[in-house]
Structure 1
Amino acid sequence: MVRSNLQGKCSMKKLIGLSLLFTACASLPPAGPHAFVPPPTPATPLQVCWVDTGGVSVPGSYGAGGSTVAATWEVTSAALVIRHPEGDLVLDTGISPHASEEQRELGAWGRFIFSQTAGRNAPRRNLKDALSALGVTRPKALLLSHVHADHAGGVASLPDVPVWLATEEKQLIEAELEHPRGVALPAQARALKGRMVPIPFTAEPYANYDARFDVFGDGSVVVVPTFGHTPGSVATFVNVAPALRFVHVGDLINLRESIERNVGKSWLMRQLTDEDSARTQAEVAKLVQLHARDPELRILPAHDRQAFVELFGADAGEVPPCIGAPPESWRR
């Protein structure tokens, strides 16, 4: 056991050295020219709440390529509760409170990767307790940006709720159930079985994307495909108010500064977490293009805690912090 731990530490030191070497010239090539379709002005009242299920503090160089502005990367593994007059939607479900037990089913290499990524999260809020505090009794659906353990960790705690994810991500889970590779934790893959509903993308442009899924049919919540980090990873536009709009980009980037600096994630994090690094980098370039065309739109990386704090405020009370109109005001 001691020898194994020492080998793991040595391997990580080598990876960090390689990361610094390969991120010295990290700028992304520009995305190809693309038409831009301005999103419609939101008209439906929304409330959106941040559930910080876990997190960790690591050096900023883990988060983005090149020389980072952030000295530390404050990580959140978050769920977003989107409250709409037609129902409550949970976007990602954070890290499982039982993740340390669930990872034991992985092989040795899978456990090592988990220990250096999602497994480093210290637990914070329990998703089910947070939903109760918000008065959410039964969500309409769970929408996953992708199926990694720090995004699908709360699926098992809400067993009767359908899970929306891209067809490609559904196929990934089905393959994991047949021949586990450790892309998803086995317990979480089993919890998804029989509940997965493919997102019905339509070939209609939205912003600088060619396909979309309008969740409520009113432009308030719109999902677009951003495949690469995993085969079916997606981004979600949330239009809270005309002057309060953001796009949750999953793990395309880890720190928001990547957009201003035109870089992707660190080489280390790309190697450890991206299924298709080149395709992910192309999607990041598309985000840079989106920011240039729509600078008022906030880019929200799934694990950038500082970006969540700036949007929602500090998570310091019994009830998770929220933005937008509370549900009780909709009926006045």
Structure 2
Amino acid sequence: MMRAVSWILVVAVGIGIGALVWSFAPRTLPLSPSAPLTLSLMIPPQPPPTMRVGVLHTGLMRSRGLFAYRGGDAGERVFGMDVVIVEHPQGTLLFDAGFGRRLHEHLRTIPWLMRLLSAVELQAPVVDQLVDASIAPASIDGVVLTHAHWDHVSGLDDLPGVPVWINQAELDFIRSGHPATRLARELGERDYRIYAFDGPPYWGFDASHDVFGDGSVVLVPAGGHTPGSTIAFIHAPDGRSYALIGDLAWQREGVDLPAERPWLLRKLVDGDDARVREVLVRLHLLQRAMPQLVIVPAHDRRVMQRLPPARHDEALHRGHPA
């Protein structure tokens, strides 16, 4: 009897290990979104000629491609920890906050398995890079969070008083006590500016929020990775367009193929697997329909390097976003 039980346990463990290994195998998502992709409802953006888009590289995480998407290779991948800055006549916004000066204290909020699977390096805190780019931190009108995980809020620690733009679903997620938003809570109560998705459908997404009223920066709801995950569409005056998708995919292959994260990583970081899959398919189809659109995962340094570096011009007239 004991021998039979032992064999059953061995078989069960073997099946479990096999299933885990299989979850890393290549597998693309079927291209069948629950609603049709509609592009005709978009009003052509009218970004002002003085608007600028740039990127700040605050840090990196060295990991493996196989952890980023199903079918990824075992070679080392650089996961960038970057901040996009938009300087607009109505105001200057950061998209996510990158790494802060107290990064090594912030790392203790990461699950031990995430620490085990990657090596984090601080390049330069976001506040120091702003100063180096001749941008006064106090002049920032807001930090727009794609979501509230630790590596997107760390830099808020060095930006006291700067408003944090967030939707109600993500703010509720922070205040829920969920372990993934521990650092956001430990950094203390912020000046949260709640925006609503009060605009029409936009490029296949159900609703939108036009930040400046000219179509240059449009936010859309893309819950799944977290309840209030947000995509920011940014249209620069030089004709280039970007979609900042946060962590819906960690590397561009997640959209290009499209492919989700392996099961173990999904369970660590994603709140709603099905919703993430749906959004990845929508982004894949959007990329097919709009090849000039650069889809930018928050941690794909290869894509982030396609954005120009941040810079500043004192002649840029400042105001406040609507």
| Structure 1: tracts of 5 or more residues without a match | 1-14, 313-320
Q: Which amino acid aligns with 2:218?
A: V
Q: Distance in 1 between matches of 2:25 and 2:186?
A: 41
Confirm or deny: 8 A CA contact 1:42 1:242 kept in the other structure: no
Q: Are 2:206 and 1:206 aligned?
A: no
Q: Are 2:241 and 1:245 aligned?
A: yes
Q: Which amino acid aligns with 2:161?
A: D
Residues 59-81 of structure 1 show CA distances to partners (whole Å, capped at 9, x for unaligned) of 2111111255x943211011111
Q: 1:56 to 1:103 in 2, by over 3 A?
A: closer
Q: Distance in 1 between matches of 2:53 and 2:247?
A: 20
Identical-residue share of aligned pairs (%)? 29
Q: Which amino acid aligns with 1:112?
A: W
Where do residues 285-296 of structure 1 align in structure 2 (5 Å cutoff)?
A: 285-296=281-292
**Bigger shift: residues 244-253 or 21-30:** 21-30
- Give the match for residue 123 of structure 2: 124
- Give the match for residue 10 of structure 2: none
Q: Distance in 2 between matches of 1:60 and 1:25?
A: 12
- Give the match for residue 58 of structure 1: 63
Give the alignment partner of residue 34 of structure 1, picking from 23, 34, 37. 37
Q: Are 2:285 and 1:282 aligned?
A: no
**Bigger shift: residues 240-249 or 161-170:** 240-249
Q: Are 2:84 and 1:80 aligned?
A: yes
Q: 1:196 Cα shift? A: 1.5
Alignment: residue pair count: 297
Q: Distance in 1 between matches of 2:106 and 2:182?
A: 7
Which 4+ residue blocks in structure 1 deviate beyond 6 angstroms?
Answer: none
Q: Distance in 2 between matches of 1:296 and 1:19?
A: 37
Q: Distance in 2 between matches of 1:192 and 1:51?
A: 24
- Give the match for residue 305 of structure 2: 309
Q: Which amino acid aligns with 2:236?
A: V
CA RMSD of aligned residues (A): 2.5
Q: Are 2:220 and 1:224 aligned?
A: yes
Q: 1:34 Cα shift? A: 3.1
| Structure 2: tracts of 5 or more residues without a match | 1-15, 318-322
Q: 1:20 to 1:310 in 2, by over 3 A?
A: farther
Q: 1:208 to 1:223 in 2, by over 3 A?
A: same
Q: Which amino acid aligns with 1:72?
A: E
- Give the match for residue 181 of structure 2: 184
Residues 73-96 of structure 1 show CA distances to partners (whole Å, capped at 9, x for unaligned) of 211011111111111101100123
Q: 1:115 Cα shift? A: 1.4
Q: Are 2:65 and 1:46 aligned?
A: no
Q: 1:190 to 1:101 in 2, by over 3 A?
A: closer
Q: 1:294 to 1:192 in 2, by over 3 A?
A: farther
Max Rg structure:
2
Q: Distance in 2 between matches of 1:16 and 1:225?
A: 36
Q: Distance in 2 between matches of 1:328 and 1:301?
A: 30
Residues 249-297 of structure 1 show CA distances to partners (whole Å, capped at 9, x for unaligned) of 0000111122221212333322221121221111111111211221110
Q: 1:114 Cα shift? A: 4.5
- TM-score normalised by the chain length of structure 1: 0.81
**Bigger shift: residues 124-133 or 268-277:** 268-277
- Please state whether the residue corresponding to 2:306 is helix, strand or coil: helix
Q: Distance in 2 between matches of 1:164 and 1:67?
A: 34
